[in-house]
Amino acid sequence: MDTAASAPLIDPFARPITYLRVSVTDRCDFRCVYCMAEHMQFLPKAELLTLEELNRLCSAFVGLGVRKLRITGGEPLVRRGIMQFFRGMSRHLGKGLDELTLTTNGSQLGRFASELVDCGVRRVNVSLDTLDADKFAAITRWGRLPQVLDGIRAAQAAGLRVKINAVALKGVNDDELFDLVRWCADEGHDLTFIEVMPMGDLGNEDRLDQYWPLSDLRARLAERFTLTELAERTGGPARYVRLNETGQKIGFITPLTHNFCESCNRVRVTCTGELFMCLGQEDNADLRAPLRASPDDTLLRQTIRDAIARKPKGHDFDYSRQSVTGQMTRHMSHTGG
């Protein structure tokens, strides 16, 4: 093998790129207020990477040293034939790829949990911001809480480890902090809180009013629990503590109150083949063109390397001074969270 062609991806700040997040569709059966508009204009099918192209692209990244692959959307499990893609990716497990996983809204887990396990998936992240059915309907617009809870139970029954991701929303779910923590403890789920990020159309949903700093959330937890810092990292941006009284692990993803860019090891690919080196920057590289230009991956690998050479030191998200800066115009669903 050509050692130069297979050399690992290292960005300009000496960070190895070992984690790839791939959006397999822009479509979703929910319309979460912080993720997409209620009446989204979805992309024409011809613009989307085919499942075969996604397979080839992800395989190229694994050949360049990516060890963790997370499948996202939209909602990845609404993509027709998506299990064909998971089966294809499973061949890399233990042969360069350490983990194949996904982030989901949970609505389709009842259908696919067992098959995901058969494909080597061992854990999933489920987005769940509230345990209140009315609030859930308001946040997701189209979602039904019982369907998601049934999906989570199906995932557990199939042997999947479930981590709950909750976006911290002031005035929405801040009164449920301890209910969410207790429910996750009782059900055996880890829990990660995420600060709402300034992406998409702020004219419809005021992110500044919804912004709940996780420093405040963490201080509230510390009033009731003893928090022990954990050195653990799972390849993503979360920092973890253990609640001594319950034994559960709580994560904090804080793009605003604590910029986590210094250890960033990840890049994102959209369902149209755009490679974003940073979630909070607009610079991207087109991987669809080299994929379709040649059945050989030489040009694709070089395009990936050239893009990684432009990976920035960090993003510019900031809610200080009561205004939003570093705002991204694209919706969160565009890059898969």
Annotated binding site for S-adenosyl-L-methionine: 34, 74, 127, 197
Binding residue numbers: 21, 28, 32, 34-35, 70, 74, 103, 127, 163, 197, 261, 264, 266-268, 278
Q: What distance in Å separates the CA atoms of residue 217 and residue 129, rounded to the nearest whole number?
A: 14
Binding residue numbers for [4Fe-4S] cluster: 28, 32, 35, 261, 264, 278
Binding residue numbers for GTP: 21, 70, 103, 163, 266-268
Which backbone phi and psi does 62 adopt, to 5 degrees? -60, -40
- Directed axis angle between helix 51-63 and helix 82-90, to 10°? 20
Q: What distance in Å separates the CA atoms of residue 201 and residue 59, rounded to the nearest whole number?
A: 34
Q: What distance in Å separates the CA atoms of residue 67 and residue 65, rounded to the nearest whole number?
A: 6
Q: Is the peptide bond between 96 and the residue preceding it cis, with omega within 30 degrees of 0?
A: no
- What count of Cα atoms within 13 Å lies in the side-chain half-sphere of residue 292? 11
Q: What distance in Å separates the CA atoms of residue 173 and residue 9, rounded to the nearest whole number?
A: 40
